[in-house]
Structure 1
Amino acid sequence: MFHTPDYYYNISMRLSEVLDDIGVNENIVMKRRRTSLLTETVSTINSRANGKQWTVNNLGSQSEGTTTIGLQSDADTLCCIEDMIVIQDWSEWTPGKLNFLMIQNEKTPPGYCLLQLLRNDAPLPETVEMDNEFVNDTHGRILFKNTVIDATVIEGRQRQGPSAASAAKQGFLAQDIVFAHPCISCPQSLRAWLHQQETNTWPTAEMKRFAKSTKCFVVGVGSRASENAAFEWRISTSLAERCLMFNLNITQIKCYILMKMILKSYINVENLANESYISSFMCKTVLFHCIASKPLCVWKESNIINCLKYCLFTLNRCILNEHCPHFIVHENNLMAGKFSAEVKRQLLERMSTLIPLDGISLFGIQIDNLGERLQVKLNMINELHYVIPQPDDYTISITVVLLTDMVQSVLNIVKTEDGRLETLLHKVIQLKRYYIAGDMLERTACRLLVPLLCTSIGSRIASQNIQINNTVSPQAFTWIEAGLDSDVASSRLKLASIMYCAGNAEIAALILSHIEEQYKIEVTESLCSCYVYKPYFKTGFLRLSNQYGVEDLKYIVAFCVKYFASEINCVPHELQYEMFRSTQEDLLHRGGDDDWMDCAVADSLPYLYFLQYKTYCVLQRPEEQQQALTKLQWVIRTERNLGHRETALNLLGQCMEQENRPVDALQCYMSSLRLRERNNAARFHICRCLANTNT
């Protein structure tokens, strides 16, 4: 490959150790991949159970395991809308679907196509004039415009190429969501690659067979260099590319990550019009070409510096020639029209400082303290002079984020389940079918989703029962029991609340006592998906999360307790105020993700102590009632991870009113308002409290 200086072996081995330390090792890579595949399975079967013909695919660095904490790679999701299909032959026309015919000719850029709308009653071209989502071309064909994507971009996101992108927030990654349509058969460009005779052994025949069995898509973006960009669609082979990434060895993954770090540290920096002219996808493509052109024996950890040097040399040649061929669709030049002569000059100048790679440029990489770590490994600096996170800290941090992200994805799905009871019952039946017929990922996904849905169904039935005759039916208990193990507390708190509202205070007290025993405060963490906030994890939670799998997290996680309007009779009147928190003016200050504000929502631990306070009051056990009040005050003051602290303060304020302490009550409500100025029931409580005080 290159002449190898003697010290390259030592630098390569130490560099590989540094990457191991920051989570670029086989264990963490596999954890990232498993979590990503499970998350996409949860989303897909949930969509199918809701009657939507969608398939969700997590793509990019997060799903491939080719990232680190410091790289902060975007979370990329491709949502395939299965009832809008792309065909290449009239025989593929499918009734009941919206059919588009793929058109490729001498005018469409390589890797792109046009989509002609077909009739829905016969395999014939549509001829009727359509709305502004379509355009008639000079041949009389009705073509689908990719600008339709603009209408799908919700508030808080903006269109970037084919995706609806949201910017990174504190503690949360940027997200790209791409809506795509499936190709019924393999596009010609992929077929050409599959049948291409390679001189090397990579990709293997088995990898190509798998790639052939995966779907291709079209996504809504045209070529930069095209005059018809508004109604061109890019052919996406992203699943075939993911297959290639999943078959890289750890040295190849490390090379790719190092390329991205170098890209971020030295190439895509200021003075280039704040635009990233060299993308991580280009780096990935360069890596593919390098792997295909060199024997597998070259790609080993002791040779990582040489491997990286070869990748950078290849990237430099691509920039010099302004030609980076897509690995699968070779005719598609990823650098076509990408940068001006001046930008090219700047890029080559920056690349020249990196080639030849002597290790010094690696010392300047601050991402994940890579440069400092490498110098420590090479005994060039004293570790005691630098505060660098230890390998175990990295492993725990990555694992916890992966597992809690998985839980958050489940909560995000069930948080909007305010449909009719019949709809929820149908959904559980559908999930049961997926569980019986599904693979391991689908069965795991069902086990995560079903308990929360069962609790919700049971609570709705109980609310109807209490309204009619103030009792709870065996049917309601059966459903609630099926969902009790969703997490440490939330489902059991719903059961205790039902007992309290039905007048069974003794049973409620027993349930609450059991929950308090199970809720290990030094370990159990509160998780909420109602809105975006940065969680703070306890040491005990971090330690156990690193040992547990995603299904075991239910033993150390407590979800927030959420009641929809259809569950109102299972909610103490003090919490019911939260369902009516918004005035007409407040509604103007709500965002697209604020539907939870129509619900009564409380964090598990403060709700536990509030219910104990109310239950012991009914049971006339004043000493235990005061203990519960003290605990409620304590948890609001000390628990860092409350998503609904303002609601807890509103509940505490009403307890203070019951204690005939109106001044303390008002202080609670004012503190609540400081946390959430708008859409807060504290406004009503203040008015009521002042009115009662004046009388």
Structure 2
Amino acid sequence: MFHTPDYYHNISMRLSEVVDDIGVNENMVMKWRRTALLRETMQTITPGADGRQMTVYELGSQSEGTTTIGLESDTDTLGCMDDNIVIQDWSEWTPGKYNYLMIQNETTPPGYCLLQALRPDAPLPDTHETDDDFVKDKSGRILVKNTIIPDSMPGGYQRQGPSMAFAATPGIFAADIVITYPCKSWPQSSRVFLDRQETNSWPTVAMKRYAKTTRCSVVCVGSKVSENADLEWRISTSLAERCLMFNLNITQIRIYILMKMIFKTYINVENLNNESYISSFMCKTVLFYCIASKPSKIWKECNILNCLSFCIQTMNRCILAGNCPHFFDHKNNLMAGKISTEVKHQLLERMSNLISCDETFLFGIQIDDLGERLQIKLNMINELHHDIPQPDEYTMDITAGLLLNMGIESSRTHYDFIHEMKDESLEMKLKILLQTVLHFTRYYRDGNMLEKTACRLLAPLYCTSIGSLIASQNIQINNTVSPQALDWLEAGMDSDVASSRLKHASIIYCTGDMERVAFILSYTEEQYNTEVTEPLCCCYNVYRDSLKRGFRQLCQYDAAEFKYIVAYCVRFFPWEINCVPHELQYEMFRSTQEDLQHRGTHDDWMDYAVVDSLPYLYFLQYKTYGSLQRPEEQQQALTKLMRVFETEDNLGHRETALNLLGQCMEQENRPVDALQCYMISLRLRERNNAAKFHICRCLANTIS
């Protein structure tokens, strides 16, 4: 039992209040977790619609609710390739799968393994090296290199070791995706811990029993201290670790967050090459050991400072020994090959400052202004030196960020799905989309609450895609839209505030029924509250200055309802070209041969016509009212289109909106203003921009 000085009680209570103020409380932890579980559900059920076998898990600090705004934690995603399976013995061989036999011997470091390729038709060893991703060892076994998982990555991602990384921007969390192969059962090295009968109460028997039901997997990365790193696979017990994290109380969660803040502030700093020698995973592991070694009754608010000190001392002992044992596999040293002798001395020196100091080391933490907040709580200073968010502001900011990311996930999931079938015939595209909606219908009928919510978010986007594909064919044949297409478009109306309605309006515009278009646009404008609605684009990593206050205020947690305060960008694929006004069709041909050389690996969206909802709404109004001979309303629409660039900070396709405005200016016989729009557009995106064509065309028309 700790001996706790009296003043520690007061400091602990004030410290607990501070971390509560920055969003570390039961309510916000559950918001983080529910959002992560919903995102992983969306990513899992969608691939299954066309037969792909992959289960997605969101892991790490965000999914655990063990982060704050200031910690800027990324999203860790585990993609389990279910058509592969790693077995421990021959009895687990499974037909219809790519089977690999796990090998752990004296040559493999603890926590790592080799994978032996097996035949797909029988539980027998494979005997042929089919390509460079396989190699025959001295025993004649065909081993699988960890390079077998391809380098192809979704748009915006970059390869970093075993993961695909997506950088953070304001309002958008960073993301890491790790592709893994699932294990049929737990490796013996980790199973020993779960089977061990111990007297301490944590993890409980129930927690161990549940952990046994979770998947182990292997990750395509070798040990840093191994000579055979390209053949080794790291064994991951992430889901069991998530189980333990979900069973922590709020005090233990707060201690973990404080540990991360302390090590980020005092240990992982620039003169150590700016590397995180003490990782969040090490902090988590140390916390597990500390919880397992101390009575449960000490982990409470009034004792938070003492518990934090104990965890720091435990980490110091790990650094001193050069060994931080994995919680499920004690032979696996998480520090192996990561801390040199020189770095170890530096770390110990820094750690000694933390251990020898009293609680004042907390005052130096600038993350989320924790140090200043604590000093105010302790009446050591009167006020903060600058404006910082109050507790309700933190709640709004976190909730808004979570929901925005969830919207981006649903839009990106839909985009990736449609993009992957770009080379299919129109008939096959329609068949796949219909199968997908049927797939969602079954999930909505028979699934759990998360699956039902995911379907409510995703299904409308696919319904609109079906309606648009059919309508494009209808327009090409007889310039009308069939009742079937209209029914599908109607079913997709509530995907968000505007994009599906604008796609519907665009389709009707291309048939020439301007009165009907005007009605749809008028209704859409009523739904689009410019003080609240946030534009949302997933085509690339859009930089966001800030989120609208109205949006943040209305972001009460309801995952199924938030779509009424976001507006996705409007996307048209080449097979929908008959649904696109000619002014927007230029965007499908934005790239010259030279421009193509300057595209990123995942700039495929540039082959499509994509525009933000609000400028497209005003553009369509301008064109529609012009056709209806309603000049006053037409000029109002033009004024609104011009004002968009001043009022909307987070447009994803500002250059496209400028290109549309420029063409409106040409129609107004204002070529100088049109050229100015195109030039500004080019400054925003110098390459792969249709503005080049518009400038040439505008100059040619002016001269002629």
| TM > 0.5 | yes
Tell me, yes or no, if structure 1 residue 439 matches structure 2 residue 448: yes
Identical-residue share of aligned pairs (%): 71
Is 1:634 the counterpart of 2:643? The answer is: yes
Contact preservation (8 Å) 2:618, 2:641: yes
Shift of 1:185: 1.6
Q: Does 1:402 align with 2:402?
A: yes
When residues 385 and 663 of structure 1 are mapped into structure 2, their CA distance, relative to the original with a 3 A threshold, is closer
What CA distance in whole angstroms lies between the structure 1 residues aligned with 2:557 and 2:170? 26
* Cα distance change on mapping 1:447 and 1:323 into 2, 3 Å: same
Per-residue CA distance 1:240-279 (angstroms, 9 max, x = gap): 0000000000000011111111111111113324332221
2-structure distance, mates of 1:514, 1:112: 59
Matches within 5 A, 1:17-36: 17-36=17-36
1:444 Cα deviation from its structure 2 partner: 1.0
Give the CA deviation at 1:165: 3.3
Partner in structure 1 of residue 466 of structure 2:
457
**CA distance in 2: counterparts of 1:153 and 1:46, whole angstroms:** 17
- SS of the residue aligned with 2:541? coil
Aligned in 2, Cα 1:157/1:662: closer, same or farther, shift over 3 Å?
Answer: closer
SS at structure 2 position matched to 1:271: helix
Q: Is the 8 A contact 1:568 1:576 kept in 2?
A: yes
Residue 103 in structure 1 maps to residue 103 in structure 2: yes
Residues 624-674 of structure 1: CA deviation (Å, up to 9, x unaligned): 111111111122333222211211111111111112222221111112111
Structure 1 residues 194, 52: CA separation in 2 closer, same or farther (over 3 Å shift)? Answer: same
Aligned partner of 1:544 in structure 2 is: 554
Indicate which of 488, 496, 517 corresponds to 1:487: 496
Is the CA contact (8 Å cut-off) linking 2:587 and 2:689 kept in structure 1? yes
Is 1:227 aligned to residue 223 of structure 2? no
Give the C-alpha shift of residue 172 in structure 1.
Answer: 4.3
The alpha carbon displacement at 1:173 in A equals 4.1
Answer with 145-154 or 290-299: which moved more.
145-154
Corresponding residue number in structure 2 for 1:600: 609
The match for 1:116 is 116
5+ residue gaps, structure 1, are: none
C-alpha separation between the residues in 1 aligned to 2:645 and 2:501?
Answer: 21
Partner of 2:182: 182
CA contact (8 A) 1:421 1:460 kept: yes
Contact 2:410–2:458 (Cα < 8 Å) also in 1: yes
Contact 1:220 1:232 in 2 (8 A): yes
Cα pair 2:172 2:401 within 8 Å, conserved: no
Displacement of 1:147 in angstroms is: 3.1
- Deviation at residue 155 of structure 1 after TM alignment: 8.6
Q: In structure 1, what residue type is equivalent to 2:23? A: G
What amino acid is the match of 1:116? Q
1:336 corresponding residue in structure 2: 336
Match of 1:358 in 2: 358
**Contact map agreement 2:155 2:602 (CA 8 A) in 1:** no
| Alpha-carbon shift at residue 605 of structure 1 (Å) | 1.2
Counterpart of 1:355 in 2: which secondary structure? helix
Q: Per-residue deviation at 1:106?
A: 2.7
Matches of residues 387-536 of structure 1 in structure 2 within 5 Å? 387-416=387-416, 417-418=418-419, 419=421, 420-535=429-544, 536=546
The verdict on how the C-alpha distance between 1:487 and 1:293 changes in structure 2, with shifts beyond 3 A counting, is same
1:591 aligns with 2:628: no
> Closer, same or farther in 2 for the Cα pair 1:168/1:607, shift >3 Å?
closer
Q: Tell me the amino acid that sits aligned with residue 346 of structure 1.
A: Q
Q: Distance in 1 between matches of 2:156 and 2:405?
A: 20
Kept in 2: contact 1:487–1:554 (CA 8 A): yes
Q: Matched residue of 1:147: which SS? A: coil
The separation in 1 between residues aligned to 2:677 and 2:360, in whole angstroms, is 58
| 2:171–2:547 CA contact under 8 A, matched in 1 | no
Structure 1: distance between partners of 2:251 and 2:192: 29
Alignment pair present for 1:683 and 2:699:
no
CA distance in 2, matches of 1:569, 1:405: 32
Mean Cα displacement is larger for which, 164-173 or 365-374?
164-173
Distance 1:153 1:140, change over 3 A: farther
Secondary structure, in 3 states, of the residue corresponding to 1:354?
helix
Does 1:133 find its partner at 2:133? yes
Q: In structure 2, do the counterparts of structure 1 residues 384 and 230 end up closer, same or farther at CA, with 3 Å as the change threshold?
A: closer
> Could you tell me which amino acid in structure 1 is paired with residue 15 of structure 2?
L
**8 A Cα contact 2:182 2:216, kept in partner:** yes
C-alpha contact (below 8 Å) 1:149/1:162 kept by paired residues:
no
8 Å Cα contact 2:169-2:543 kept in structure 1: no
Q: Report the alpha carbon displacement of residue 160 of structure 1 after superposing the two structures with TM.
A: 4.2
Letter in 2 for 1:589: H
Candidates 643, 646, 657, aligned match of 1:648: 657
Matches of 1:313 and 1:163, distance apart in 2:
32
Deviations 1:35-70 (A, max 9, x none): 001101101111211321111111111111111111
Instruction: Report the CA distance between 1:388 and its aligned residue.
Output: 2.5
Helix, strand or coil for the counterpart of 1:558? Answer: strand
- Map Cα deviations across residues 349-401 of structure 1 (whole Å, 9 max, x no partner): 11111114521100011111111110010010111544222111111111100
Q: Is the 8 A contact 1:150 1:159 kept in 2?
A: no
Evaluate the alpha carbon distance shift between residue 159 and residue 526 of structure 1 in structure 2; reply closer, same or farther with a 3 A threshold.
closer
Q: TM-score, length-normalised on structure 1?
A: 0.97
Structure 1 residues 618, 250: CA separation in 2 closer, same or farther (over 3 Å shift)? Answer: same
Q: Distance in 2 between matches of 1:583 and 1:33?
A: 45
Q: Which residue of 1 aligns with 2:306?
A: 306
User: Does the 8 A contact of 2:323 with 2:336 survive in 1?
Assistant: yes
Q: Secondary structure at the match of 2:55?
A: strand
Residues 640/340 of structure 1: CA separation in 2 closer, same or farther (3 Å cut): closer
Letter in 1 for 2:600: G
Unpaired stretches in structure 2, ≥5 consecutive residues: 422-428
Q: Aligned partners of 1:248 and 1:357: how far apart in 2? A: 28
CA–CA distance in structure 2, aligned partners of residues 138 and 152 of structure 1: 32
1:54-133 correspondence to structure 2 within 5 Å: 54-133=54-133
Q: Structure 1 CA distance, aligned partners of 2:155 and 2:484?
A: 41
Q: Is the 8 A contact 1:463 1:568 kept in 2?
A: yes
Deviation, 1:683, is 1.1
**Contact kept? 1:309, 1:356, Cα under 8 Å:** no
> Could you list the per-position Cα deviations for residues 551-571 of structure 1 after superposition, in whole angstroms to 9, with x for gaps in the alignment?
111221111111111111111
Is the contact made by 1:490 and 1:561 (CA closer than 8 Å) also made in structure 2? yes
Displacement after TM superposition at 1:518 (Å): 1.5
Q: Distance in 1 between matches of 2:158 and 2:505?
A: 44
The CA deviation at 1:607 is 1.0
- The code of the aligned residue for 1:138 comes to K
| Letter of the structure 1 residue corresponding to residue 188 of structure 2 | Q
Distance 1:20 1:258 in 2: 12
Deviation per CA, 1:302-359, whole angstroms, max 9, x where unpaired?
A: 1000000110111111111222211111121222333222222221111111114521
Does the CA contact (< 8 Å) of 1:133 and 1:144 recur in 2?
A: yes
Equivalent position of 1:39 in the other structure:
39
CA distance, structure 2, for counterparts of residue 165 and residue 666 of structure 1 = 39
Structure 2 counterpart of 1:198, one-letter code:
E
Q: Structure 1 residues 298, 496: closer, same or farther in 2, change over 3 A?
A: same
C-alpha RMSD over aligned residues = 1.7
Of 467-476 and 352-361, the range deviating more from structure 2: 352-361
**SS of match in other structure, 1:441:** helix
Deviation of 1:224 after TM superposition, in Å, equals 2.4
Q: Is the 8 A contact 2:147 2:230 kept in 1?
A: yes
For the residues of structure 2 that align with 1:489 and 1:398, how far apart are their CA atoms? 25
Contact 2:372/2:384 (8 A) holds in 1: no
What are the superposed Cα offsets for residues 454-512 of structure 1, whole Å, 9 maximum, x if unpaired?
01110111111111111111100110000001111111111111221111111111111
Structure 2 contact 497–527 (Cα < 8 Å) conserved: yes
Instruction: Supply the distance in 2 between the matched residues of 1:455 and 1:5 (Cα, whole angstroms).
Output: 65
Question: Which amino acid is 2:312 matched to?
Answer: L
SS in 1 for 2:99: strand
Q: Secondary structure at the match of 2:324?
A: coil
Contact 2:531 2:550 in 1 (8 A): yes
The equivalent of 1:245 in structure 2 is 245
- Aligned pairs for 1:198-347 within 5 A: 198-347=198-347
